[in-house]
């Protein structure tokens, strides 16, 4: 997606998507959309208000009266159409993610692809699920929960919207999406694509706006039956609290501080690059980023050397360049947040092995930070306990396998974890003791049918495949 930077040609997105059409916003607040590589305004977005949200909820309620009664074959056909139309715009979706969010092109392509794939994955899961169970005179069926409010974060816009929409559509729910206000351009490209699927009117509605306006109305409105949220712990907690008033079901996909356990039989030439890929995933702005690297004390010196070598290929720069591994942070706020944690790490007594404060040389204009690796980190330091959401890795030494497992689990989060080692049986044994929703062995991996979600403060519920669909279902038993 090409955007001119000349002030006179800056366009303003003024519409939401309600009842199958792009409709003018009732809310009139306008915000700038800023390109993170240079801080320039590239477009503007008009934000929706409570009235826009209520219109969207009403459309979703009307649509649910019929869509909620569709068969699984009808829903499978819709998922198939969604997959087709989104696949046609893969390149545009990726370009928008690079432009507006600053995602590095290779990873942005993967994110967008997995968003698009979530429609086919939901279709597969829908066919495999047992929708009716019978015994004696009892019949139990799975029923859609109703109208769902889908509230998403900015770091993987197409993935979150597609994933939540796919699960909801498979379950027979209708939806109102509130994307992050930092993702308006990306949402627009996605919506143009999804519009081509000619969905039943009101099945998909999207209102761009502020969390405390549009998001809060979705949470409060009795016409919404379920909230599926991806974002921070603080907002997730307030949503869960407020959903109680109308007894809404909630799925919360929240933060992480994921450990990567390096076992002492790991080959460092492969293990360290794999660990760094997990640490700097999506420029470190990833809930699953492996930001704590747990290293056997005896290996610490060789690990430090291996990190210094491997970091040479983690170059920072223009996210559109396929050779670049780390792009800018999404916003000035996010830049400031990462800087404050790097300062805090230094104040707490950790040692900067690579990176440090400030912009990388030559990249002063945008929100670029230096990918930073701290050593001599203790697990009770803020940089080891708090989610930074930037390319900052904390290396923590451990004494024994049990000590590594203890440190890995000594976190309020439990979203993702990794174990790297040559002996697969041993790696599995360690993995089975980690309190995290997903554990990968030896490298970052994905499986569109495997559940995604967190233990502890990382959230409530699961997404992906049948687990994601189940989150939009109720059971009904009929006894004769
Ligand atoms: P955020 O919590 O600030 O915002 C998330 C969404 O919630 C946005 O759309 C925002 O407008 C909305 N919101 C804000 N206040 C609201 C309110 N009072 N009521 C309803 N909605 C409201 O998070 P963010 O900064 O956009 O994203 C970063 C966070 O997301 C990180 O903590 C990260 O770990 C988390 N995240 C989690 C996952 C996961 O799958 N577990 C994936 C990506 C990001």
CA of 135 to the centre of ligand 1 (A): 43
One pLDDT digit (tens) per residue for the chain, 480 residues: 444 445 558 999 999 999 999 999 999 999 999 999 999 999 999 999 999 999 999 999 999 999 999 999 999 999 999 999 999 999 999 999 999 999 999 999 999 999 999 999 999 999 999 999 999 999 999 999 999 999 999 999 999 999 999 999 999 999 999 999 999 999 999 999 999 999 999 999 999 999 999 999 999 999 999 999 999 999 999 999 999 999 999 999 999 999 999 999 999 999 999 999 999 999 999 999 999 999 999 999 999 999 999 999 999 999 999 999 999 999 999 999 999 999 999 999 999 999 999 999 999 999 999 999 999 999 999 999 999 999 999 999 999 999 999 999 999 999 999 999 999 999 999 999 999 999 999 999 999 999 999 999 999 999 999 999 999 999 999 999
CA of 427 to the centre of ligand 1 (A): 33
Q: Look up 128 and say whether it is catalytic.
A: no
101 lines ligand 1 (CB under 6 A): no
Catalytic choice (123, 253, 387, 463): 253
152 lines ligand 1 (CB under 6 A): yes
285 lines ligand 1 (CB under 6 A): no
3-state SS, residue 264: coil
User: What is the torsional sign of CA 61, 63, 66, 71?
Assistant: negative
From the DSSP assignment, how many helices (H) and strands (E) are in the chain? Answer: 15, 23
CA of 152 to the centre of ligand 1 (A): 6
Q: What is the pLDDT of residue 9?
A: 80
Q: Is 19 left (phi over 0), alpha (psi -120 to 50) or beta?
A: left
CA nearest to 213, candidates 64, 329, 46: 46
459 lines ligand 1 (CB under 6 A): yes
Cβ pair 195, 86 in contact under 8 A: no
215 lines ligand 1 (CB under 6 A): yes
Q: Residue 447 carries which DSSP code?
A: -
331 lines ligand 1 (CB under 6 A): no
Cβ pair 53, 224 in contact under 8 A: no
Q: What is the pLDDT of residue 6?
A: 52
Catalytic choice (99, 123, 287, 387): 287
Q: Is 281 left (phi over 0), alpha (psi -120 to 50) or beta?
A: beta
Q: Whose CA is nearest to atom 20 of ligand 1?
A: 215
* b/e sequence 451-463, b meaning 16+ C-beta within 10 Å: bbbbbebbbbbbb
Q: What is the pLDDT of residue 4?
A: 45
219 lines ligand 1 (CB under 6 A): yes
CA of 456 to the centre of ligand 1 (A): 17
Q: Look up 173 and say whether it is catalytic.
A: no
Q: Whose CA is nearest to atom 39 of ligand 1?
A: 253
Q: What is the pLDDT of residue 2?
A: 43
232 lines ligand 1 (CB under 6 A): yes
Q: Whose CA is nearest to atom 14 of ligand 1?
A: 211
Q: Whose CA is nearest to atom 42 of ligand 1?
A: 287
- Kindly state the tokens that stand for 450: 């495997």
CA of 444 to the centre of ligand 1 (A): 23
CA of 136 to the centre of ligand 1 (A): 46
CA of 106 to the centre of ligand 1 (A): 24
Q: What is the pLDDT of residue 398?
A: 98
Other CB atoms within 10 Å distance of the CB of residue 38? 13
Contacts of 425 (CB under 8 A, 6+ apart): none
Q: What's the pTM? A: 0.97
User: What is the torsional sign of CA 284, 289, 291, 296?
Assistant: negative
């Amino acid at each position: 997606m090409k955007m001119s930077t000349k002030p006179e040609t800056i366009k303003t997105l003024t519409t939401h998507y309600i009842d199958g059409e792009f409709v003018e916003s009732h809310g009139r607040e306008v915000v700038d959309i800023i390109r993170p590589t240079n801080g320039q305004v590239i477009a503007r977005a008009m934000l929706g208000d409570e009235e826009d949200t209520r219109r969207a909820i009403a459309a979703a309620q009307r649509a649910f009266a019929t869509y909620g009664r569709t068969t699984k074959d009808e829903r499978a056909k819709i998922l198939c159409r969604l997959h087709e139309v989104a696949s046609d715009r893969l390149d545009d979706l990726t370009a928008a993610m690079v432009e507006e969010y600053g995602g590095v092109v290779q990873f942005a392509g993967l994110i967008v692809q997995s968003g698009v794939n979530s429609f086919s994955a939901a279709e597969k899961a829908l066919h495999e699920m047992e929708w009716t169970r019978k015994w004696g005179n009892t019949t139990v069926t799975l029923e859609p929960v109703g109208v769902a409010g889908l509230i998403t974060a900015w770091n993987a816009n197409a993935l979150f919207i597609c994933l939540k929409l796919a699960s909801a559509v498979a379950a027979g729910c209708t939806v109102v999406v509130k994307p992050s206000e930092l993702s308006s351009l990306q949402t627009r490209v996605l919506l143009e694509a999804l519009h081509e699927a000619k969905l039943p009117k009101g099945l998909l509605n999207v209102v761009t706006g502020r969390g405390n306006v549009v998001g809060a109305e979705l949470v409060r409105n009795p016409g919404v039956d379920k909230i599926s949220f991806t974002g921070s712990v603080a907002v997730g907690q307030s949503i869960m609290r407020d959903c109680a008033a109308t007894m809404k079901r909630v799925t919360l996909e929240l933060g992480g501080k994921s450990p990567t356990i390096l076992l002492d039989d790991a080959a460092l030439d492969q293990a360290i690059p794999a660990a760094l890929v997990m640490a700097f995933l999506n420029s470190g702005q990833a809930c699953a980023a492996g930001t704590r690297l747990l290293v056997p004390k005896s290996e610490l010196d060789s690990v430090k050397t291996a990190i210094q070598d491997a970091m040479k290929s983690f170059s920072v720069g223009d996210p559109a360049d396929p050779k670049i591994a780390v792009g800018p942070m999404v916003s000035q706020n996010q830049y400031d947040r990462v800087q404050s944690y790097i300062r805090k790490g230094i104040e707490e007594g950790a040692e900067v092995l690579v990176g440090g404060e400030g912009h990388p040389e030559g990249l002063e204009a945008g929100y670029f930070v230096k990918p930073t690796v701290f050593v001599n980190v203790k697990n009770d330091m803020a940089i080891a306990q708090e989610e930074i959401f930037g390319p900052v890795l904390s290396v923590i030494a451990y004494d024994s396998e049990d000590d590594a497992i203890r440190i890995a689990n000594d976190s309020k989060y439990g979203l993702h974890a990794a174990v790297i080692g040559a002996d697969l049986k041993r790696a599995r044994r360690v993995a089975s003791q980690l309190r995290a929703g997903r554990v990968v062995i030896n490298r970052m991996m994905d499986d569109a049918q495997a559940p995604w979600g967190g233990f502890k403060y990382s959230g409530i519920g699961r997404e992906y495949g049948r687990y994601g669909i189940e989150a939009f279902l109720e059971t009904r038993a009929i006894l004769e």
